[in-house]
Each structure stands twice: as structure tokens, then as C-alpha cells.
Chain A
Amino acid sequence: MSNVIQQVKGKVVALEGDYAIAEALRQINPDVMAAYPITPQTEIVQKFSEFYAEGVVDTEFVPVESEHAALSTCVGASAAGARAMTATCGAGLALMWEILWCASGLRLPIVMAVVNRSLSAPLNILTDQTDEMATRDAGWVQLYAESHQEAYDNIIQAVRIAEHPDVMLPTMCGMAGFVLGHALGQLELLPDEAVRKFVHIYHPHYSLLDTDCPVTFGAFDHWDYFFPHKRQQWEGLNNALRVIPEIGEEFGRLTGRYYGLVEPYMLDDAEVAIVIIGSAAGATRVAIDEMRAEGIKVGMLKVRCYRPFPADAIAEALQGRKAVAVLDRTSCMGGEGSPLFTEICSALYNRNIAMKIISYTYGLGGYDTIPEEFCQVYRNLLQIAQGGKIEPIHRFLSLPERGES
């Protein structure tokens, strides 16, 4: 196979994010798709059902009776050597919880779209990243999308990342529910042939269907093997730190859209910065452009890959900033700030990089966050950078602080 990749021209379309994912699934043409509909992921399953009904995919589609069964079915299919995919969100992802660990522990390269949704109670179907963030220790690769284009591109790359021989781990791709999932956005769809060539045919190392060379999947480990096996899994996940940019580079040569672990925006000379994951990076860009127009040096670091945690890439990008705000859209309660914040603090501390750093929780359950609020974050950061009070370390964007009305 030639290493020369010719850039292809795609077709520019306007699609809802869910339909963009469904198009990617159609083009990937997995062997097995098992899924259960849940708002706001439903349109993915509906659209894929149409593809299945029209016979435009070779996929066997299994309309299961729960999300737990969806992932369980994918585990069996993936162990059988099939390329298996699913999609879910919120409560559905929570119901899969136990099997998330089985899928990664069995080293099965399942790919799952997650249309991020809050977790009950109170019941809420709108977006935040609590669902996916809560699964961060389950051993899956986690990518997040800012835009429709990224959501589509991530799913295609995820197949290659998951199936990479040095990784062999399930991969989930987050995308904001409604904000991306149900909203029309412009994106470029690759030609079907280009996607199929990029993901190429999956050749599993072992298959449950190989009766000539029978393999036992999921033997139980006592104390003597469990820890070493988990260590190996850990290595596989960390290998994704190298593999994700490699695949992103290859994808870039094909499409002109290059991907890494993180993406800086106006960061090089920025005095203060916001670190953020997902669709709200878009509003942050607007805030940055407004403030830059006034000559204020602000920037952003968007984290695309949250698992494995790209500590080196983040520390390197943030070095030199005077103050940083880490914005988490997750209801991770009881910690010293939210998870992205605490991990970034850890990454900086261990690399002897000192700066003022605060944590914001924003946008839970679809709470709207507008560019002006990101501007306010930057103004707060500039004050902190000039020696202002850093407390409270953890804040709630858009909501009054305790004691204020």
C-alpha cells in the first residue's frame, strides 16, 4: 500500500449532528450495529435503521431492548471478530456502565458515539458531559467534538484508533446533545469510498468464531494475574497518546483537516486562557475574537482527547500563561473543582509549571452559556493575573456565587 495519500474533495452539506454521525456509520459500514434509542441520540438509530431497511449497508443491525444489551451485543460481536458499533447518551451510558469495563478489559475495539446528555435527577434531556466524564476511568479512549465536522471526523478516526494493534481498546466519541446533535450544521462529507479505504477491512487477532483454534475469552483472574493484566491495558490506553495524532495526521492528509490531542486557539501570546472541551469552544472563540479586537491577549486550549489524558500536551500548551480557567461541563461533585481542572493542576504541578488556575462548572443540563460570559471569565482571569483574589477556586459560570443574589 502506498504511503502517499491524495487529498479528496468531499461534499459540503447541512446536517443535524445526529445525522452526520449516522452518515459516518453508513460509510464505515460496520459488520454489526446494536443500539437502543434515547434522546438526544435517537436520530442516529432511526437514520441507521433506514439505511439497514434500504439495504445500503452490509451491517446486521440489532435493535436491542436496552443500552446494556446494546453494549453486551457489541462485546459478543467484537469478540467474534466483527467491527461492532453503537451509540448512546446520558442514562443509556450509565446503564452500560458495567459492560464498559468488560469491553475495555477484553480489549475489544468497539466504537460508540455519545451524544452527551445530563444524568438524572432532576430529569433533564439536555446536554452536559456528566455522562461521559463519569466513565473516564473505564479504560475507553475518549474524544470530544466541538462541531458537526469534528463529530463526523472523530467517528471515522475512532475506528482506526480503537483497532490500532498498539491500542486495541474501545473508543467513545462525545458530541453535545441538541447543540450539535439536533442543530443543523455545515460539514463536508467524504466520498464513501474514501471512508471505506481509510478505515479499511478489520482483521482481528483472535475470533470467537474460530473453532479450529478455540480461544477462551474472559477467563477469570485471581490476584496473581489481574494486576498485571490491568497494567497491560493501561499501556494500551497510553499508547493512544501516540496513535491519536498519527491517525489525525493521516486523516489530515486525506481531508485537509488535521487532528491532535488538543487544539490551541490564539494561545501563543495569550496572557490568560480558558481550557474547555466540546461545543462551547465555539462560543469561547467568539469571546476571544471580541477581546482580541480590543487588544486583550486571551486564548483557548480545546481538549479533544480526554482519555488517555494528554498531560504533556496540555502542560506544554499552557506554559507561560499567567492565569488559566478550566471549564468543565460536568456535575462531578465533592471534588476540589471538576475533573479536567484537577488533572490539569496535577499535570502542571508535576512539571514545575506554576500559574494561577481556577475551575468553572458551566452549562449543566443545557444551561445556555453565551460569549459575554466567557468574556467575563477572561476579565476575572486578567484580574487574578494582576494579583487579584483567586478565591473561590471553584466557581459556577452563569450562576450567582454563594452569598450573592
Chain B
Amino acid sequence: MAIKLTDICNKEEKLASGHRGCIGCAETIIVRQVMAAIDGPVVVASPTGCLEIITTPFPTTAWRVPWIHNAFENSSSTLAGAETAYRSLVKQGKIEDKGLKFVVFGGDGATYDIGLQFISGVIERGHRLLYVCLNNEAYMNTGIQRSSATPLGAWTTTTPVGKAVPGKIQPRKNLIAIVAAHNIPYAAQAAPHAWRDLMTKVQKAIAIDGPSVIDVLSPCARGWRHSTNETIAISRLSAETGAWPLYEVDHGKWKLNYNPVPRKPVIEWLKAQGRFSHLLQPGNEHIVEEFQQQIDKQWAELESMSQ
């Protein structure tokens, strides 16, 4: 189904305005894009993190759909419990089948790190839910600490730039490869500047009778050290440089959804963000070089797997 801007504009917003998100926050943009892509009733879970804190300070809530927070690591299991309850109650005739959809919005800390086991379990058992990672590449809610989604060389408050260690020394973990290894029906990477691509992926995912994961890059002005009006530009640059490839794994079939020709050098993405500013200093050229090599290697793999 083609996605039209006019249709999106006429839809009721499921995340109300007036929440406490930072200016320039990509997370709420992505949430609205995802929710706008889904027709019919939705139940949402969020782990502890920025989205939870900005949308639900008691006695207010920004959610116009049922929503639950349990803890930091277990939103996937929690929503899988609700999804199981739904199946059970419908099967027993205790409630009617309204075609409910289930969506988790979790940060990269909750997804790549502390919640990975739970997500693996939920995927393996085949619960029918869409897990969206709002990936701002660090623990932003607690003040910019590294996660395993933090890219090579990035400054965070737990990978500070010092004389001995120049920021994060490991590259980002490949979540989609891990997820795909579960033989999940659908997994993808997306970014908010490519809204049509993102929403198409959501529609594919939500239609599946089983688990799906979409990892969405979520630029964070506070943590990435860019201006609040550059969120979407940084998102675009991440795709144009290949720092965040847009691709999907649809029933085992890998496909690059966006192939910039020519692909811009990663230095353009790095120099747009204060978290990488030390990489532009003399003596750190090898880190930039290594970063570029990693992107080239992953890109070649993605192209090869996409046939």
C-alpha cells in the first residue's frame, strides 16, 4: 500500500504533543512515523529510558493508546505477556478479536545490551509483536554513557577522550545480524529522514504473524553534539555515508533499500557531530580510516547478500 503524506496528516496522532522530549529529539518523530504507519488498534510497551520518562510523568501521559512500562530490560517479555493474554482471552471467547497489534519502543541500551536475552526469547518463541529500537547509540537518559550500539571512536561519558584512550575502542554491535540469525520473519534498519522507507518497513513488519524488529537510528542532539535543527540532516548523512545502511531481511532475504552513488566518505558524518570531534585531531587519522574500512566491509557484505 502506497504511503501518502495527505493520509498521514489526516490521521489522529497517537502520541500527544506536550510531552517532555528535548527540542530536536528524533525519538518522538520516529514514534509518530511508526504509529502513523499502523492501521487499527495498537498496544505499546516501553522500557525505562528517554521515551518513557518524557511521555509518562504521573499524573500525565502522552499516550492515546494503551501503554505499559515494566522495567529496563524486559519490555519484550512484558508485551509478549500481553500478546499471550490476548491470544488466550480471544481463544476462550472472553474478549473479541479486534486485530490488536503490539509494538515495543525501546532504546539501544534496553535492546542491544540489558534486554537482548529477553528479545531473543521472544523472537524464538514467535510472539506476534514488532520491536522498534530507537537507537541513539548510547544511554542518553542517564547522561550519554556508552552502549554496545555506540560507534567506534565516539565520545561518551563512559568512553571519555583521554591521553591513553581516544573514545570508544570497539565498533557497534550488529543487532540485525543477531536478530536475523533467529530466522525472524522480518528485520530491518531504518532512519527517520527516510520516512517512507521506514513506514513501509513498519507496514511489512506489522502484517506478519510473528516477531519483527526494526532498528531505527535516532540522532540525539544532546549526546551526539549537533544542533537541534540538524536531526534530520544528520540522519540523512548517516545513510549517505553508509554509517547507517538502510536495509531489510525479509523472510531471510537481505535487501539494501538505499544505495547512494557515490557513497560519501564517513568523515562527513563524523565531522558533523561533536562526539567525534577528537577524531579530526592529528594522531587519530587511523581511527577514521578504520571506521571507513569497517563501513566498506559491511557495505560489501550487504551488497553481496542482497545479490
Contacts and interface: CB of A to CB of B under 8 A. Distances in A.
B241 to A, nearest CB: 37
A31 B85 contact: yes
B81 A77 contact: yes
A209 B89 contact: yes
B74 A72 contact: yes
Interface in B62-110: 63-71, 73-74, 77-89, 91-92, 94-95, 98, 100
A72 B78 contact: yes
Interface stretch (B29-37, B52-60, B248-256, B276-284): B52-60
A32 B57 contact: no
A73 B80 contact: yes
B61 interface: yes
Interface in A203-248: 207-211, 214-222, 225
B120 interface: yes
Nearest to B86: A209
Contacts of A62: 80-81, 84, 125
B61 A75 contact: no
B114 to A, nearest CB: 11
A194 interface: no
A76 B71 CA distance: 11
B85 A211 contact: no
Nearest to B40: A211
A216 to B, nearest CB: 4
B280 to A, nearest CB: 39
Given A219-B56, A219-B69, A222-B58, A76 B120 contact: no
A62 B87 CA distance: 12
Contacts of B58: 219-222, 225
Contact of A80 (B70, B77, B85): B85
A74 interface: yes
B236 to A, nearest CB: 33
A65 B121 contact: yes
A217 B121 CA distance: 23
Contact of B71 (A65, A72, A81): A72
A65 B66 CA distance: 26
A83 to B, nearest CB: 9
Contacts of A32: 81, 84-85, 88
A31 B92 contact: yes
A99 to B, nearest CB: 6
A64 B121 CA distance: 7
A233 B52 CA distance: 23
B89 to A, nearest CB: 6
Contact of B66 (A31, A208, A220): A208
B78 A59 contact: no
B295 interface: no
Contact of B43 (A59, A84, A211, A222): A211
B78 A220 contact: no
Nearest to A103: B70
Interface in A238-260: none
B74 A69 contact: yes
Contact of B61 (A76, A209, A219): A219
Contacts of B87: 60
B85 A102 contact: no
Contacts of B288: none
A77 B82 CA distance: 4
A298 B64 CA distance: 63
Given A32-B84, A59-B88, A209-B43, A216 B56 contact: yes
B240 to A, nearest CB: 37
A66 interface: yes
Contacts of A264: none
A102 B65 contact: no
A78 B77 CA distance: 13
A74 B81 contact: yes
Contacts of B260: none
B69 A73 contact: no
A366 interface: no
Given A58-B91, A209-B89, A220-B52, A76 B57 contact: no
A209 B65 CA distance: 10
B45 interface: yes
Nearest to A224: B58
Contacts of A99: 70-71, 74
B68 A214 contact: no
B118 interface: yes
A79 B68 contact: yes
Contact of A72 (B70, B85, B120): B70
A6 to B, nearest CB: 27
Contacts of A148: none
B143 interface: no
Nearest to A59: B88
A64 B77 contact: yes
B68 A76 contact: yes
A185 interface: no
A261 B302 CA distance: 65
Given A84-B81, A209-B89, A225-B58, 11 more contacts: A31-B88, A31-B94, A68-B77, A76-B78, A77-B82, A80-B81, A209-B95, A211-B65, A214-B67, A215-B67, A222-B57
24 contacts: A32-B85, A34-B81, A60-B88, A68-B74, A73-B78, A76-B45, A76-B68, A76-B79, A77-B82, A79-B78, A80-B43, A82-B89, A84-B85, A208-B82, A209-B89, A211-B42, A211-B65, A211-B100, A216-B61, A216-B63, A217-B67, A219-B59, A219-B69, A222-B58
Interface of B: 41-43, 45, 52-53, 56-61, 63-71, 73-74, 77-89, 91-92, 94-95, 98, 100, 117-118, 120-121, 124-125
Q: Which 10 pairs between the two chains have the least Cβ-Cβ distance?
A: A76-B81, A82-B85, A218-B69, A65-B121, A80-B85, A211-B41, A72-B74, A72-B77, A73-B81, A76-B78
